[in-house]
Structure 1
Amino acid sequence: MPPFAAGQLYSEVCHMHDAPQPAGSTADLVCARMNAGKLWFSSQEERHQAFSNGVFLLHIPDDLDVGAADQFANEFYRGDASLYGGFKALTSASFDDGLLGFHRRVDQIEQFLLERRFWGSHYPVEIALIGEQMTALSQQIVCAALEFAGIPPSVWLRGSGSCSHAEGAYHLTFNHYRTQLDAVGLSSHKDDGFLTILRTTRQGLEVNRYDRWERVDATHNLFVINFGLSMEVLTARCPSPVSAIVHRVSQQTEDRTSFGHFSSSNFMDRDQGKFAYCPVQGLQRALDKQTLLKAYSRDYCTHMLYSGCSRDETA
């Protein structure tokens, strides 16, 4: 499989950003549930729709109590004496990664983001536990997607950057939208990892399916699941490819918070890049780290990034 050109990955997203269209309808998304650790759809047609669209809804498992994470999302940005209000003071200066900690981004979003290796030391124990439960959930969904695509289990570990074994790179992020800013909530983009699990209880998220923007209903007992570029690249030549969904958040006029869990390859630091699977040729490296970073650079698509870095954002 030939390498992807540096400006290729986001050409359609940039076009959407340059000429934004309002969402004209509400997305009729497939809704799945977990059953004994397996992702379950009511029919094969719904399963195909979920993976080919790159987005679906998932009933929050009964053993995953997201109450503490909802509260964290509602308090982290306050800088007050609330239970989680002090996290606003924990900025990137406390970490070896400039994207971690508390940040104010472009658009309306402000965010608190930590990589998995910092969950136990910096998140309260109840938040770290939710992060680990979401990692296990993500592993199950990633494996379901690889099975759907027709990729043999023998290459899952390498192809998914260890996400198939819950050993990938994981980030847990909390978001608040600043209504006082006259800006879009979050610009249109595709996530760059394998999978995003999003929790939101207020309207605002929009997805682009069938070349049109649709609103996603916010429901208290559901996660929004969406796939990213790593999964799209890996499965592009498979019998049943999995898409990465373009999504955004509309300008918010009422207070809105959310939180999300990202699953990405743990190979990026060793410059192994992204892989693609071909039924004939097997697993091949499709993108190296340098090409990937160029694809995200401001020269190609300014709105994709905050501070010129390639990292998933969540809606």
Structure 2
Amino acid sequence: MTQATAHGEWKLDPGRIYQRELRKRVDERPAESAAVLQRASLDGSELVFDSSVTRDRALDDGVFLLTIPDSIDFTACDRFARQFYTGNTGLRYGHYRYIDGERFGDALLGYHERINQIEQFLLERRLWQAVYPAEVSACGIALTVIAAHVLRAVLKLTDIARRDWDQATGGCATESGSYHLTFNHYRPALPGIGLSSHKDDGFMTILRTSSPGLEIHRGDRWEAVVPDAACFVVNFGLSMEILTRRSSRPVSAIMHRVQHQTMDRFSFGHFSSSLCKPGAEAGIHSYDSARGLRHICSSRELIDANDVEIYHGTRSDGAT
């Protein structure tokens, strides 16, 4: 995902984020089996697995199932995912198709048609209350709290000093990072894959999906994630992998994709990323048990470089 410089430091290598895992990235074999994922729940602010063994397996895998707390009402978000793309202004959420990045001065935000089957509507937290309906914004805020609980639980297992957590996570340890609430629709009329294989760029993603299609690459093969209506799928991203890979408790980012869809498919996700608000860039850091924190790149550089590779491919060695 990065390469060493002459001084031994590490930097983002755009176009080659997945160079070390190119075999996984280009693996087009079908899923061979159903994925058996570890399960956890939240007891207040504590993340609880059945045992330390299952917890460690989840961190090594980079993905687990999290029981949805009874306090979260995500009905509106499910409905938003089924309506945002329609352009039907007679529906409560149908007009969001017409809100794109031009409105926000940022091509990352708003409605997007991707080159895969997926189309999306995405907003950063600072815009939620102004753009999303109150019931959707409230769900996003609740997910931000959950994400912080999970992140702090993982950081406790590393040797990263608590005083460094806020800097190390670009504010996510204190619920002051950048958070994107994203709604997805997969268009069955289009050919090709639902969503290309990739890792998410942030620290973690909390995904709500009720339809088959999500697949993870684990143990040198693709496995199909079986939807569980009672659980979120939580997966760790590149920012977490970069931060912890040389710590006492490395955490993996899982390679995943969405297979070709023959029927409409809907989902929504909450992404926790290092603060990347204009004028307040926190950056991506790596931690070394001997040397402490090191700045790798800006948050937006990682987001943009990852997006390019997801939709346009990874360059092989020697490519220009």
The TM-score with structure 1 as length reference comes to 0.90
Task: Give the aligned partner of residue 286 of structure 2.
Answer: 276
> Amino acid of the residue matched to residue 92 of structure 1?
G
Instruction: Identify which of 134, 145, 151 aligns with 2:143.
Output: 134
- 1:105 partnered with 2:114: yes
Alpha-carbon separation, structure 2, partners of 1:31 and 1:48:
12
Decide whether the 8 Å contact of 2:275 with 2:299 is kept in 1: no
Alignment-derived partner of residue 128 in structure 2:
119
Separation in 2, partners of 1:146, 1:132: 21
Aligned to 1:66, which of 48, 66, 74? 74
2:231 corresponding residue in structure 1: 222
The CA deviation at 1:225 is 0.2
Q: Does 1:173 align with 2:179?
A: no
Could you tell me whether the CA contact under 8 Å between 1:10 and 1:301 is conserved in 2?
Answer: no
Structure 1 segments of 4+ aligned residues over 6 angstroms from their partners: none
Provide the C-alpha distance between the structure 2 equivalents of 1:188 and 1:25, rounded to a whole number of angstroms.
Answer: 17
Counterpart-to-counterpart distance in 2, 1:295 and 1:86 = 30
In 2: Cα distance, 1:256 partner to 1:57 partner: 20
Q: CA deviation at 1:273?
A: 3.0
Residue aligned with 2:73, SS: coil
Match for 1:32 among 25, 37, 40? Answer: 40
Query: Could you report, residue by residue, the CA deviation over 1:162-216 in whole angstroms, capped at 9, with x for unpaired residues?
Result: 0000000010010000000011000000111111000000000001112211110
- Aligned position for 1:309: none
Match of 1:313 in 2: none
Distance in 1 (alpha carbons) for counterparts of 2:281 and 2:85: 34
Q: Quote how far apart the aligned CAs of 1:272 are.
A: 5.2
Aligned residue for 1:238, secondary structure, equals coil
Q: CA deviation at 1:148?
A: 2.0
Question: Does the aligned pair in 2 maintain the 1:115–1:172 contact within 8 Å?
Answer: yes
Instruction: Determine if the alignment matches structure 1 residue 246 to structure 2 residue 248.
Output: no
**1:292/1:79 Cα in 2 relative to 1: closer, same or farther (>3 Å)?**
closer
Tell me, yes or no, if the aligned pair for 1:272 and 1:285 is still in contact at 8 Å: no
Contact 1:13–1:188 (8 Å) recurs in 2: no
Question: Which amino acid in 2 is paired with 1:52?
Answer: D
Counterpart position of 1:285: 295
Q: Residue 257 of structure 1 is aligned with which of 252, 257, 266? A: 266
Q: For the residues of structure 1 that align with 2:303 and 2:127, how far apart are their CA atoms?
A: 24
Q: In the alignment, which residue of structure 2 is the partner of 1:20?
A: 28
Structure 2 residue 54 is matched with structure 1 residue 56:
no
Quick one: structure 1 residues 72 and 295, their matched pair in 2 at CA, closer, same or farther if it must change by over 3 Å? closer
Asked whether the equivalents of residues 68 and 230 of structure 2 are also in contact (C-alpha less than 8 Å), the reply is yes
- CA offsets per residue over residues 25-77 of structure 1, 9 Å max, x none? 11110010000111110100011011111100000001011111111111111
- Letter of the structure 1 residue corresponding to residue 295 of structure 2: R
Shift of the 90–299 alpha-carbon distance from structure 1 to 2, 3 Å rule, reads closer
Structure 2: distance between partners of 1:67 and 1:267: 29
| Contact 1:149-1:242 at 8 Å conserved across structures | no
Say whether the 8 Å CA contact 1:14–1:301 is kept in structure 2.
no
Tell me the residue number matched to 1:307. Answer: none
Aligned-residue RMSD, C-alpha: 2.2
Contact 1:13 1:246 in 2 (8 A): no
Q: Deviations over 1:231-268 (max 9, x none)?
A: 00100111110011100000001111000000100158
Aligned residues between the structures: 304
How far off is 1:219 after superposition? Answer: 1.1
Measured against aligned partners, the alpha-carbon deviations of 1:260-281 in whole angstroms (never above 9, x if no partner) come to 0001001585565311112221
Percent of aligned pairs with the same amino acid = 44
Q: 1:164 aligns to what SS in structure 2?
A: helix
d(CA) in 1 for partners of 2:121, 2:303: 23
For the residues of structure 2 that align with 1:290 and 1:100, how far apart are their CA atoms?
Answer: 13
Unaligned ranges ≥5, structure 1: 305-315
Deviates more, 1:48-57 or 1:141-150: 141-150
- Supply the distance in 2 between the matched residues of 1:206 and 1:70 (Cα, whole angstroms): 21
Shift of residue 286, structure 1, vs aligned partner: 3.0
Equivalent of 1:205 in 208, 214, 225 = 214
